[in-house]
Amino acid sequence: HDPPIFKRNDGTCNGGILPQYWGLGSESRGTPSKLPEPFAVEVGNPKDIPEGWEEKWLFNIMIIDTRGTENRKSCSECRCDQFNLPHNFFNVTIGINGKPLSPDYKGGIFCCQDKFQCKLRKGFEAPRRKLALRYKVTWVDWDQQQIPVRFYILDSTDRVTTNGSQIIHDCQDGRELCTSTPTYGTGKEAGNEEGYAVGMSVCYPKPGSIKINDGEIVTIESRYKNEFLTGAMGHMYIYLADRLQHTT
């Protein structure tokens, strides 16, 4: 059998850094994901599926069990010193650059691999639980009323250099297109955990109100507390419509 052909987003870095087509996390539970009409994501178009192939959907699920952990916050941030890593972990784990992971790697996705487990408090034994994933997918049959969109994923990666006492950022100043702010939980129930981000606001500008010129640089900036963090992400989706009017 030939290997599967993965449909990625329309942006760059799809080889290993930003390969997903659609990604949401626990901090997105309160984030609206429905596109405003008449815009829609097109899937299942026979002309886009190679002959002899069948289109399927893939769910890539990441669950971190924090019950009884020594440090719940550090565990959820995938800090390497909180996981029972294999003894040869840094020798056999390949980083994004294609080289063995450096021992200086303090935390992130590589320390949250399948079947890795956070260190537990001494004597703690968690009861086994059966978990189920529930999701809802809605769609409409495609007609001339929908306007197809492509979407891109931006990652808040900023290379910072210095020239003496001057700090130089690898980004550009300019107009603000969108500000997305978090909502934090205030209770103990699922979806409203105190201190955790449970939703992010979204921006849907009026069609035609914002124009991004060909070749213009678009920058995403994420702001965190001034403290040591690992496993931090700053992703934003941009939806792009090639046209703004209906076709007949």
Residue with the larger pLDDT of the pair 199 and 144 = 199
Which of the listed residues 78, 102, 132 is the one where a domain comes to its end? Answer: 132
State whether 142 and 223 are in the same domain: yes
**Residue from 231, 196, 235 nearest 62 by CA:** 231
Q: How confident is the model at residue 247 (pLDDT cuts 50, 70, 90)?
A: low
State whether 43 and 142 are in the same domain: yes
User: Mean of the per-residue pLDDT values for the chain?
Assistant: 81
State whether 54 and 67 are in the same domain: no
State whether 247 and 142 are in the same domain: yes
CA distance 237 to 170: 20
Asked whether the beta carbons of 154 and 236 are under 8 A apart, the reply is yes
State whether 176 and 123 are in the same domain: no
pLDDT of residue 30: 80
State whether 221 and 241 are in the same domain: yes
Least confident range from 3-7, 163-167, 200-204: namely: 163-167
Which of the listed residues 112, 132, 152 is the one where a domain comes to its end? Answer: 132
State whether 217 and 239 are in the same domain: yes
Q: What is the mean pLDDT of residues 63-86?
A: 88
State whether 67 and 13 are in the same domain: no
Place of tokens 């507390």: 225
State whether 156 and 241 are in the same domain: yes
Number of structural domains found in the chain: 2
State whether 205 and 105 are in the same domain: no
pLDDT exceeds cutoff 60 at 248: no
Indicate the SS3 state at residue 43: coil
Which of the listed residues 77, 109, 132 is the one where a domain comes to its end? Answer: 132
pLDDT digits (tens, 9 = 90+) for 137-194: 777 888 888 888 888 887 776 566 778 887 765 555 767 788 888 899 999 888 888 8
* Domain coverage including residue 94: 62-132
Residue with the larger pLDDT of the pair 42 and 23 = 42
State whether 244 and 150 are in the same domain: yes
Host H or E run for residue 168: strand 166-169
State whether 105 and 183 are in the same domain: no
